[in-house]
Amino acid sequence: MNFRRGKTTIIGLRASTALLIGVVLIQLFATQIYAQRPRSPWQTLSGETPLVIARGGFSGLFPDSSLDAYNFAKLTSVPGYVLWCDVQLTYMLIKTSLTDY
């Protein structure tokens, strides 16, 4: 009986070692594949173009939420820009916009 128990222990140890080596090899190959993928110039989580949301006017030049500030944002933005619009709901459920735009 002691002989069988020892043999089973050796087989279990070899299986554990083989499993560990397999996991390490998979990790190494996955890291290598990840390192070879093309890098994005953007340091965002998704690698996509960052979405810049700016609220307010251009400091010292345009007042907050003015038509001039929105026009300047459109002229100087990247493609796919989003304009922040300050819309609020009153107590009587009336929508109001605090912008000139």
Residues 29 and 49 in one domain: no
Residue 97 in this model has a pLDDT that exceeds 80:
no
Q: Quote the pLDDT of residue 38.
A: 67
Residue 99 and residue 68 share a domain? yes
From the number of C-beta atoms within 10 Å of its C-beta (0-12, 13-18, 19+), residue 58 rates as middle
CB-CB neighbours of 65 under 10 Å: 19
User: What's the predicted TM-score (pTM) here?
Assistant: 0.38
User: From CA 11, how far away is CA 14, in angstroms rounded?
Assistant: 5
- Over 80: is that where the pLDDT of 26 sits? yes
Same domain, 50 and 69: yes
Question: Do 53 and 98 sit in the same domain of this protein?
Answer: yes
74 plus 98 within the same structural domain: yes
Domains identified in the chain, total number: 2
pLDDT reported for residue 4? 54
Is residue 3 located within the same domain as residue 27?
Answer: yes
Domain span at residue 19 reads 1-37
Bigger pLDDT: 96 vs 22:
22
Whether 41 shows a pLDDT value over 50: the answer reads: yes
